[in-house]
Structure 1
Amino acid sequence: MKAAVGDRIIRASGVVGGAVRDGMVVEVQHEDGSPPFLVEWADTGERTLVYPGPDTLVRAPVEGAVAHEVTVPVHSKSWHVQVSLVESEGRTTAEAILVGDVPSELHAVGRARKDPGDAEIEAIGDHVAAARALRALADRLLGLAESEIEGSTGVPAHVHH
Protein backbone atom coordinates (compact mmCIF):
# COMPACT_ATOMS: atom_id res chain seq x y z
CA MET A 1 0.00 0.00 0.00
CA LYS A 2 1.38 3.39 -0.99
CA ALA A 3 0.26 6.93 -0.23
CA ALA A 4 1.15 10.54 -0.94
CA VAL A 5 0.70 13.71 1.08
CA GLY A 6 -2.94 14.78 0.76
CA ASP A 7 -4.32 11.25 0.33
CA ARG A 8 -7.20 10.21 2.54
CA ILE A 9 -6.91 7.31 4.97
CA ILE A 10 -10.09 5.49 5.96
CA ARG A 11 -9.68 2.95 8.75
CA ALA A 12 -12.35 0.55 9.99
CA SER A 13 -12.72 0.10 13.71
CA GLY A 14 -11.00 -2.83 15.35
CA VAL A 15 -14.05 -3.42 17.56
CA VAL A 16 -17.64 -4.29 16.75
CA GLY A 17 -19.75 -1.16 16.56
CA GLY A 18 -16.72 1.13 16.61
CA ALA A 19 -16.43 4.22 14.46
CA VAL A 20 -14.76 4.36 11.07
CA ARG A 21 -11.94 6.94 11.17
CA ASP A 22 -11.07 9.32 8.38
CA GLY A 23 -7.86 11.27 8.09
CA MET A 24 -5.39 12.88 5.73
CA VAL A 25 -1.79 11.89 5.06
CA VAL A 26 0.34 14.86 6.10
CA GLU A 27 3.75 13.21 5.78
CA VAL A 28 5.15 10.17 4.01
CA GLN A 29 8.22 8.57 5.59
CA HIS A 30 9.68 7.02 2.41
CA GLU A 31 10.23 8.40 -1.09
CA ASP A 32 8.40 5.48 -2.69
CA GLY A 33 5.24 6.23 -0.66
CA SER A 34 5.44 3.07 1.43
CA PRO A 35 4.31 3.03 5.09
CA PRO A 36 4.34 4.34 7.68
CA PHE A 37 2.37 7.55 7.07
CA LEU A 38 1.80 10.48 9.40
CA VAL A 39 -1.99 10.96 9.42
CA GLU A 40 -4.06 13.80 10.82
CA TRP A 41 -7.44 12.41 11.94
CA ALA A 42 -10.54 14.43 11.06
CA ASP A 43 -12.40 13.58 14.28
CA THR A 44 -9.71 14.70 16.73
CA GLY A 45 -7.07 16.64 14.78
CA GLU A 46 -4.55 14.27 16.37
CA ARG A 47 -1.57 13.16 14.28
CA THR A 48 -0.43 9.55 14.48
CA LEU A 49 1.96 7.31 12.63
CA VAL A 50 -0.06 4.74 10.67
CA TYR A 51 1.05 1.34 9.49
CA PRO A 52 -1.97 0.40 7.36
CA GLY A 53 -3.41 -3.08 7.52
CA PRO A 54 -6.31 -4.85 5.79
CA ASP A 55 -8.77 -2.58 7.62
CA THR A 56 -7.34 0.55 5.95
CA LEU A 57 -8.06 2.24 2.61
CA VAL A 58 -5.95 4.92 0.93
CA ARG A 59 -7.78 7.27 -1.44
CA ALA A 60 -6.35 10.03 -3.61
CA PRO A 61 -7.97 13.39 -2.90
CA VAL A 62 -11.26 14.05 -4.67
CA GLU A 63 -11.05 17.14 -6.85
CA GLY A 64 -12.94 20.01 -5.22
CA ALA A 65 -13.34 18.22 -1.88
CA VAL A 66 -12.69 20.09 1.35
CA ALA A 67 -9.91 18.70 3.54
CA HIS A 68 -11.33 16.09 5.92
CA GLU A 69 -14.67 16.08 4.12
CA VAL A 70 -16.00 12.59 4.69
CA THR A 71 -17.12 10.99 1.42
CA VAL A 72 -16.35 7.34 2.23
CA PRO A 73 -17.95 5.24 3.64
CA VAL A 74 -21.40 6.10 2.38
CA HIS A 75 -23.06 3.86 4.98
CA SER A 76 -21.84 2.43 8.24
CA LYS A 77 -23.79 -0.38 9.89
CA SER A 78 -23.35 -2.73 12.79
CA TRP A 79 -24.76 -6.21 12.89
CA HIS A 80 -24.41 -8.46 15.88
CA VAL A 81 -24.50 -12.23 16.09
CA GLN A 82 -25.67 -13.83 19.31
CA VAL A 83 -24.76 -17.46 19.88
CA SER A 84 -26.56 -19.40 22.63
CA LEU A 85 -25.32 -22.83 23.72
CA VAL A 86 -27.15 -25.62 25.50
CA GLU A 87 -25.32 -28.75 26.67
CA SER A 88 -26.93 -31.96 27.83
CA GLU A 89 -25.74 -35.57 28.04
CA GLY A 90 -22.77 -35.22 25.67
CA ARG A 91 -24.69 -33.15 23.14
CA THR A 92 -24.32 -29.44 22.45
CA THR A 93 -26.79 -27.31 20.52
CA ALA A 94 -25.91 -23.79 19.40
CA GLU A 95 -28.32 -21.23 18.00
CA ALA A 96 -26.87 -18.26 16.12
CA ILE A 97 -29.09 -15.22 15.60
CA LEU A 98 -28.19 -12.26 13.37
CA VAL A 99 -29.44 -8.99 14.82
CA GLY A 100 -29.36 -6.04 12.44
CA ASP A 101 -31.34 -4.31 9.75
CA VAL A 102 -31.98 -7.50 7.79
CA PRO A 103 -35.53 -8.00 6.43
CA SER A 104 -36.30 -10.78 8.88
CA GLU A 105 -34.59 -12.35 11.85
CA LEU A 106 -32.03 -14.80 10.58
CA HIS A 107 -31.11 -17.71 12.78
CA ALA A 108 -29.55 -21.12 12.42
CA VAL A 109 -28.81 -24.12 14.61
CA GLY A 110 -25.69 -26.25 14.87
CA ARG A 111 -25.22 -29.43 16.86
CA ALA A 112 -22.30 -31.45 18.17
CA ARG A 113 -22.25 -34.87 19.82
CA LYS A 114 -19.44 -36.27 21.94
CA ASP A 115 -18.26 -39.72 21.04
CA PRO A 116 -19.00 -41.96 24.06
CA GLY A 117 -15.32 -42.98 24.27
CA ASP A 118 -13.99 -39.40 24.32
CA ALA A 119 -13.13 -37.43 27.44
CA GLU A 120 -15.60 -34.76 28.54
CA ILE A 121 -14.11 -31.48 27.24
CA GLU A 122 -16.92 -28.95 27.23
CA ALA A 123 -15.21 -26.38 24.99
CA ILE A 124 -14.87 -28.77 22.04
CA GLY A 125 -18.61 -29.35 21.76
CA ASP A 126 -19.21 -25.60 22.14
CA HIS A 127 -16.76 -24.80 19.34
CA VAL A 128 -18.10 -27.43 16.93
CA ALA A 129 -21.78 -26.60 17.52
CA ALA A 130 -21.16 -22.83 17.32
CA ALA A 131 -19.11 -23.20 14.13
CA ARG A 132 -21.85 -25.26 12.52
CA ALA A 133 -24.52 -22.74 13.54
CA LEU A 134 -22.43 -19.82 12.20
CA ARG A 135 -21.76 -21.64 8.92
CA ALA A 136 -25.50 -22.34 8.52
CA LEU A 137 -26.26 -18.69 9.36
CA ALA A 138 -23.80 -17.53 6.68
CA ASP A 139 -25.45 -19.86 4.15
CA ARG A 140 -28.88 -18.43 5.02
CA LEU A 141 -27.59 -14.87 4.63
CA LEU A 142 -26.10 -15.71 1.21
CA GLY A 143 -29.41 -17.32 0.24
CA LEU A 144 -31.23 -14.15 1.24
CA ALA A 145 -28.84 -12.07 -0.87
CA GLU A 146 -29.40 -14.37 -3.85
CA SER A 147 -33.18 -14.02 -3.47
CA GLU A 148 -32.89 -10.24 -3.31
CA ILE A 149 -30.68 -10.17 -6.43
CA GLU A 150 -33.14 -12.39 -8.29
CA GLY A 151 -36.03 -10.20 -7.13
CA SER A 152 -34.40 -7.01 -8.36
CA THR A 153 -32.99 -8.37 -11.65
CA GLY A 154 -35.42 -11.14 -12.56
CA VAL A 155 -32.42 -13.36 -13.30
CA PRO A 156 -31.42 -16.42 -11.24
CA ALA A 157 -28.47 -15.51 -9.03
CA HIS A 158 -25.68 -17.39 -7.34
CA VAL A 159 -23.36 -15.62 -4.91
CA HIS A 160 -19.96 -17.30 -4.88
CA HIS A 161 -18.48 -18.09 -1.46
Structure 2
Amino acid sequence: MKRFAVLVLVGIAAGNGASAEDDIYTRFFTGADGGKPCYARYYDEPHLKAHPKQTVRRIEVDFDGSKPQDSGTPQSAAGFEGGIGFMLKRSKEWYGQALYCKTAGERFDCYLDADGGRITLIPQSDALRLEVTGGGGGTDRIAVEGGRDFGTFGGPGSDDRVFILPRSPRKLCDAP
Protein backbone atom coordinates (compact mmCIF):
# COMPACT_ATOMS: atom_id res chain seq x y z
CA MET A 1 0.00 0.00 0.00
CA LYS A 2 2.86 2.39 0.82
CA ARG A 3 4.43 1.62 -2.54
CA PHE A 4 1.14 2.47 -4.29
CA ALA A 5 0.86 5.79 -2.41
CA VAL A 6 4.43 6.73 -3.35
CA LEU A 7 3.77 5.87 -7.01
CA VAL A 8 0.61 8.00 -7.01
CA LEU A 9 2.51 10.97 -5.55
CA VAL A 10 5.34 10.56 -8.05
CA GLY A 11 2.80 10.37 -10.87
CA ILE A 12 1.06 13.54 -9.71
CA ALA A 13 4.37 15.40 -9.48
CA ALA A 14 5.51 14.17 -12.89
CA GLY A 15 2.16 14.88 -14.52
CA ASN A 16 2.18 18.52 -13.52
CA GLY A 17 4.21 19.37 -16.64
CA ALA A 18 4.88 22.97 -15.58
CA SER A 19 8.50 23.63 -14.76
CA ALA A 20 9.68 26.23 -12.28
CA GLU A 21 11.12 28.14 -15.24
CA ASP A 22 7.70 28.29 -16.93
CA ASP A 23 6.10 29.39 -13.65
CA ILE A 24 8.50 32.29 -13.09
CA TYR A 25 8.25 33.34 -16.74
CA THR A 26 4.45 33.25 -16.53
CA ARG A 27 4.36 35.10 -13.22
CA PHE A 28 6.56 37.98 -14.34
CA PHE A 29 5.95 38.15 -18.08
CA THR A 30 3.21 36.28 -19.96
CA GLY A 31 0.79 36.12 -17.03
CA ALA A 32 1.47 39.62 -15.70
CA ASP A 33 -0.78 42.50 -16.74
CA GLY A 34 -2.29 40.66 -19.70
CA GLY A 35 1.13 39.59 -20.99
CA LYS A 36 2.28 43.21 -21.34
CA PRO A 37 4.03 44.07 -18.07
CA CYS A 38 6.08 47.16 -17.42
CA TYR A 39 8.75 47.35 -14.73
CA ALA A 40 9.97 50.90 -14.18
CA ARG A 41 11.84 53.14 -11.78
CA TYR A 42 11.86 56.92 -11.98
CA TYR A 43 14.17 58.82 -9.61
CA ASP A 44 13.40 62.31 -8.32
CA GLU A 45 15.90 65.15 -7.90
CA PRO A 46 16.40 64.68 -4.13
CA HIS A 47 17.34 61.03 -4.69
CA LEU A 48 19.74 61.89 -7.50
CA LYS A 49 21.39 64.63 -5.41
CA ALA A 50 21.84 62.14 -2.55
CA HIS A 51 23.46 59.65 -4.99
CA PRO A 52 25.90 61.70 -7.11
CA LYS A 53 27.50 58.59 -8.66
CA GLN A 54 24.15 57.51 -10.12
CA THR A 55 23.73 58.57 -13.75
CA VAL A 56 20.37 56.89 -14.56
CA ARG A 57 17.29 59.06 -14.00
CA ARG A 58 14.70 56.63 -15.40
CA ILE A 59 14.88 52.97 -16.32
CA GLU A 60 12.32 50.45 -17.50
CA VAL A 61 11.96 46.91 -18.81
CA ASP A 62 8.89 45.96 -20.83
CA PHE A 63 7.46 42.92 -22.57
CA ASP A 64 4.61 42.22 -25.00
CA GLY A 65 3.73 38.54 -25.16
CA SER A 66 1.49 39.05 -28.19
CA LYS A 67 4.49 39.87 -30.38
CA PRO A 68 6.89 37.16 -31.55
CA GLN A 69 10.62 37.69 -31.27
CA ASP A 70 12.33 39.51 -34.15
CA SER A 71 13.39 36.10 -35.45
CA GLY A 72 9.72 35.07 -35.68
CA THR A 73 10.18 32.53 -32.90
CA PRO A 74 7.34 32.49 -30.37
CA GLN A 75 8.06 33.90 -26.93
CA SER A 76 8.85 31.21 -24.33
CA ALA A 77 10.65 30.71 -21.03
CA ALA A 78 13.61 29.33 -23.01
CA GLY A 79 13.93 32.53 -25.03
CA PHE A 80 11.96 35.77 -25.07
CA GLU A 81 12.36 39.33 -26.23
CA GLY A 82 11.47 42.48 -24.38
CA GLY A 83 12.83 45.97 -24.28
CA ILE A 84 14.94 48.13 -22.02
CA GLY A 85 14.89 51.90 -21.94
CA PHE A 86 16.69 54.45 -19.81
CA MET A 87 17.21 58.18 -19.45
CA LEU A 88 20.39 59.67 -18.02
CA LYS A 89 20.70 62.66 -15.71
CA ARG A 90 22.62 64.58 -18.36
CA SER A 91 19.81 64.64 -20.95
CA LYS A 92 16.13 64.10 -21.63
CA GLU A 93 16.83 61.56 -24.39
CA TRP A 94 15.58 58.01 -24.03
CA TYR A 95 18.00 55.24 -24.94
CA GLY A 96 16.27 52.01 -25.87
CA GLN A 97 17.27 48.58 -27.05
CA ALA A 98 15.86 45.11 -27.59
CA LEU A 99 16.46 42.81 -24.63
CA TYR A 100 16.87 39.05 -25.23
CA CYS A 101 16.31 36.85 -22.19
CA LYS A 102 16.02 33.27 -21.07
CA THR A 103 14.84 31.83 -17.80
CA ALA A 104 17.71 30.43 -15.73
CA GLY A 105 16.40 28.87 -12.54
CA GLU A 106 14.96 31.65 -10.38
CA ARG A 107 16.22 34.53 -12.55
CA PHE A 108 16.33 35.77 -16.13
CA ASP A 109 19.66 36.10 -17.95
CA CYS A 110 19.49 38.81 -20.60
CA TYR A 111 21.62 40.58 -23.14
CA LEU A 112 21.04 43.79 -25.06
CA ASP A 113 21.01 43.75 -28.83
CA ALA A 114 23.98 45.19 -30.75
CA ASP A 115 26.51 44.16 -28.09
CA GLY A 116 24.95 46.54 -25.57
CA GLY A 117 25.78 44.50 -22.47
CA ARG A 118 24.35 41.86 -20.14
CA ILE A 119 21.94 42.06 -17.23
CA THR A 120 20.26 39.67 -14.83
CA LEU A 121 16.65 40.16 -13.74
CA ILE A 122 15.88 38.63 -10.36
CA PRO A 123 12.25 38.48 -9.18
CA GLN A 124 11.63 40.13 -5.81
CA SER A 125 8.00 40.14 -4.67
CA ASP A 126 6.20 42.14 -7.41
CA ALA A 127 9.38 43.70 -8.81
CA LEU A 128 12.49 42.80 -10.78
CA ARG A 129 15.98 43.45 -9.46
CA LEU A 130 18.13 44.46 -12.44
CA GLU A 131 21.85 43.77 -12.06
CA VAL A 132 24.45 44.78 -14.64
CA THR A 133 26.53 41.64 -15.17
CA GLY A 134 28.60 42.42 -18.26
CA GLY A 135 29.38 45.24 -20.58
CA GLY A 136 28.83 45.90 -24.20
CA GLY A 137 31.19 46.96 -26.92
CA GLY A 138 34.24 45.74 -25.05
CA THR A 139 33.37 47.72 -21.92
CA ASP A 140 32.11 46.76 -18.48
CA ARG A 141 28.90 48.78 -18.69
CA ILE A 142 25.63 48.97 -20.60
CA ALA A 143 25.99 50.92 -23.86
CA VAL A 144 23.10 51.88 -26.15
CA GLU A 145 23.14 54.12 -29.20
CA GLY A 146 20.74 57.03 -29.05
CA GLY A 147 19.73 59.61 -31.62
CA ARG A 148 22.81 61.77 -31.02
CA ASP A 149 25.24 59.74 -28.94
CA PHE A 150 25.69 56.65 -26.80
CA GLY A 151 24.03 56.29 -23.43
CA THR A 152 26.05 54.26 -20.96
CA PHE A 153 25.66 53.22 -17.34
CA GLY A 154 26.75 50.57 -14.88
CA GLY A 155 30.51 50.91 -14.81
CA PRO A 156 32.49 49.90 -11.72
CA GLY A 157 32.23 52.44 -8.90
CA SER A 158 28.95 53.86 -10.14
CA ASP A 159 25.59 53.68 -8.39
CA ASP A 160 24.11 52.23 -11.59
CA ARG A 161 24.80 48.52 -11.22
CA VAL A 162 21.60 47.47 -9.40
CA PHE A 163 18.03 48.76 -9.71
CA ILE A 164 14.76 47.57 -8.17
CA LEU A 165 12.07 47.93 -10.85
CA PRO A 166 8.53 47.63 -9.42
CA ARG A 167 5.71 46.51 -11.68
CA SER A 168 4.30 49.77 -13.00
CA PRO A 169 1.42 51.02 -15.13
CA ARG A 170 1.94 50.13 -18.79
CA LYS A 171 1.64 53.79 -19.79
CA LEU A 172 5.10 54.42 -18.30
CA CYS A 173 6.70 51.98 -20.74
CA ASP A 174 4.56 53.12 -23.67
CA ALA A 175 5.30 56.83 -23.22
CA PRO A 176 7.71 58.36 -25.74
* TM-score, normalisation: structure 2: 0.24
Higher strand share: 2
Query: Using CA pairs below 8 Å that are at least 6 residues apart, which structure has the higher relative contact order?
Result: 2
Greater Rg, structure 1 or structure 2?
Answer: 1
